[in-house]
Structures are given as structure tokens and as C-alpha cells.
């Protein structure tokens, strides 16, 4: 039986790499798409088997179109898309320039929107698909530790998830979001600072940072055929920082 094919953007490092490893372990063929193409290829080589790395600038629609065409040529189709690529920049809100806003939104919002269009059209034509968009606590509570432009992009991701979920549901394609809070990851360590991590963790109701491997488990569950009745949802994992 042909394994399902998953495309993970921003998949070479960090949370993206956790997601890639989890999907691969679950039996997916994985296309690792990243601006750091050499890192994506290195991860694919490490995993072996049905994994390949691709150099992709998700902010460029033509690059996304080429990614879809190449993965289809290499694997025969795409059943799962994880829009994980993002750009973070810790910058005081009133100091964000127009250029910085555009750069962060181009990756965090526009690329996700266009990938949903392109891959969603491909999946709908084949009557099946799973799209998982990576949102963030910052997009829900207006947190700006990673930049107000990043928070705005992630808020938009939550909205576009609902829009595409409604559009694609009749075609057998589900579209959901996962919204992590602060994770035990290099990015959070850098932003918070090693000396401040213990105090920061105590400020979270559960008293600890999140586990990126668990976020990857959530993504894998939403990417599974069994998740057919879940669409337009945003699954939270924020340690109790945002409750609804």
C-alpha cells in the first residue's frame, strides 16, 4: 500500500523537525520543505526511506507552485500539508517597520493562505486531504513577546483555517489549526533568556513549558484519516495561559 504523502513547510529544524519525525514514524512519506534546503536534505537522509528535502521560499508563490509540482512528480500526490513555516522577530510594537511587517506577514500569513489554495485545490480534486496550520497562543491573546506582527499573522492563520475548512469540507479535505503556547524549544529559550526560564515557567498555570513532541502528536492526529469529522478547529496547548 502506498504511504500517504505529507508536506511540512519549515520542516528542517525546531518544531517542524519534530512534526516531520512524527509523521515519518507514523508511516508517511515526508517532503521536508525549508528555506534551508541543505538542512532539509540532511534530515531526509537521516530518516531514510520515503523522505526528501526541498529548498523552498514559501513567501514566493511560484516556489510553492514548484514545490507542489515536484512533490507530485516524486511521490505521485499529496494527502497532508502542514503549514509550519513562520518568521519571528522580537521587536517593540511601535518600532516595527513596514518592511518588517511585510516580511513577517509574507511567511506567517500569505504563504499559509496561498499554500492552502494550491494544495487544497490538489487535494479536493482527489477527494481527500488533511491540512494543518500552525497557529500560536500569540494570535489568540495578543501576546507580543515574539513581535506584534508575528501575533497578527498567527491570528490571521486561525481565521483563514476556518475559511478554507468551510470551502474544502464538501471535497473531503479538512483544515485545522494547532495553537501552541510557550514550548521547551531553542526559540523560546532565546526570547525568554536562560536566566529567566524558571520564573517564566512558574507564570504558566501548569508550571512548565510545553513539549514540542506532543505538539507533533497533535498534528499527526489531525492529519490522520480518522480525523474526518474535525475541521475548522483550533486545538490549544498552552498550559492554561488562554482558556475558552
Tell me the catalytic residues.
150
Distance CA 133, CA 175 (A): 8
Distance CA 198, CA 221 (A): 31
State the Cα torsion 14-15-16-19 to the nearest 10°.
130
Taking phi over 0 as left and psi of -120 to 50 as alpha, with beta for the rest, 209 belongs to beta
Question: Residue 116, Cβ neighbours under 10 Å: how many?
Answer: 25
Q: At what angle do helices 37-47 and 14-25 cross, to 10 degrees?
A: 30
* Look-up of cell digits 500500500: 1
Amino acid at each position: 500500500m502506498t504511504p500517504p504523502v505529507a508536506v511540512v513547510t519549515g520542516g528542517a529544524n525546531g518544531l517542524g523537525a519534530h512534526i516531520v519525525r512524527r509523521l515519518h514514524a507514523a508511516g508517511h512519506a515526508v517532503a521536508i520543505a525549508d528555506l534551508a534546503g541543505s538542512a532539509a536534505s540532511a534530515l531526509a537522509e537521516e530518516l531514510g526511506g520515503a523522505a526528501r528535502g526541498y529548498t523552498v521560499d514559501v513567501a514566493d508563490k511560484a516556489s510553492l507552485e514548484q514545490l507542489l509540482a515536484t512533490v507530485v512528480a516524486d511521490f505521485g500526490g499529496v494527502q497532508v500539508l502542514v503549514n509550519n513555516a513562520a518568521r519571528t522577530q522580537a521587536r517593540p510594537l511601535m518600532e516595527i517597520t513596514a518592511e518588517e511587517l511585510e516580511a513577517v506577514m509574507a511567511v506567517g500569513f500569505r504563504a499559509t493562505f496561498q499554500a492552502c489554495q494550491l494544495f487544497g485545490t490538489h487535494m479536493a480534486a482527489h477527494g481527500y486531504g488533511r491540512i494543518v496550520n500552525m497557529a500560536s497562543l500569540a494570535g489568540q491573546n495578543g501576546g507580543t513577546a515574539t513581535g506584534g506582527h508575528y501575533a497578527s499573522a498567527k491570528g490571521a492563520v486561525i481565521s483563514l483555517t476556518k475559511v478554507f475548512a468551510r470551502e474544502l469540507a464538501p471535497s473531503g479535505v479538512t483544515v485545522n489549526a494547532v495553537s501552541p503556547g510557550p514550548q521547551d524549544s531553542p526559540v523560546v529559550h532565546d526570547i525568554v533568556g536562560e536566566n529567566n526560564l524558571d520564573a517564566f515557567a512558574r507564570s504558566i498555570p501548569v508550571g512548565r513549558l510545553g513539549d514540542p513532541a506532543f505538539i507533533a502528536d497533535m498534528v499527526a492526529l489531525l492529519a490522520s484519516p480518522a480525523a474526518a469529522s474535525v475541521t475548522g478547529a483550533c486545538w490549544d496547548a498552552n498550559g492554561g495561559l488562554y482558556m475558552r
